[in-house]
Amino acid sequence: MARVLEGKRINEQILAELKPRVEHLAKTRRPPGIAVVLVGHDPGSEIYVRNKVKTCADLGIHSEKLTPPEDITTGELLAIIDDLNNRPDLDGILVQMPLPKQVDSRQVLLAIHPSKDVDGFHPFNVGQLVLNAPAPRACTPAGIMEMLRRSEIPVQGKKAVMVGRSDIVGKPMAFLLLHAHATVTICHSKTSNLSEECRRADILLAAMGKAALLTAEHIRPGAVVVDVGMNRVTDRDEVARIWRNDPAKLAVLEQKGSVLVGDVNPLDMAELSSAYTPVPGGVGPLTIAMLMANTVASAEARLK
């Protein structure tokens, strides 16, 4: 029977390890500090930011939430970032995506000082990742590596297939696996014979944003499957197809209007893999844990 890789358990481990480090900083210098910039009223972003702020409070990290108006200009947001860069009491700056259409997201990300880029998205930090040099790592890929390590899933010498090539997950994930001595293949929407490529994987990772796209034909029996996707399915026929007419899932759809599913078919994944991450509750909790880890490490470096 497949192991379920619960992100919440590993999240709790990481946060428990961070707490004494935060307490030491608070006693000897000052607590770590992070500013979260939330523009607009995207419901998903508001929930995510609320969870980040709560986790900061639980750890003793000082956090500030800035909520500029939705019609803010790029120049006005850059001025806010500049002020945050110059504040000595802040170790991290996080600008919640997506930003409104009139704001140049790339300019905003470039404006964050690399030492305060706790998301790990700044080109300088991406370059450090490529070189395997110290710098904040993108939180979701870093969390996945922690999950594999703490779950004692070997990476060295294994074939890893990353389906998805985003700057946030796919590309940094591939480099982290490469640095851990895996043999890495990146697949995407233009890949020929996707199922054949996926079936070569000892470790199959999916981050495409397509509900249950990968099915039994993509999973080699015994593979470890890491599903980064988070999709809401609202169509009854689609829910019935994915969960094979499971009455419980159809009841959830009736009650909530949607059902969450990753990028891998959940039943096929559970039946064929040796270990897998559930959706929800798998990779998601690790992203916030690694954001906290990046913030604490940034504070420790700044306060030496």
Active site residues: 52, 96, 119
- Cα 55 to Cα 17, 107, 118, 211: the distances in Å are 14, 28, 15, 29
CA distance 24 to 31: 8
Would the CA dihedral through 73, 76, 80, 85 be positive or negative? positive
* DSSP classification of residue 122: S
DSSP state of 291: H
* Rounded-to-integer distance, Cα 233 and Cα 222, Å: 28
- In angstroms, the first-to-last Cα distance of the chain is 48
Residues with Cβ < 8 Å from 72, sequence gap 6 or more?
A: 39, 100, 103
The answer to whether residues 136 and 117 touch, using CB atoms and an 8 Å cutoff, is yes
Nearest to 92 by CA among 249, 241, 300, 263: 300
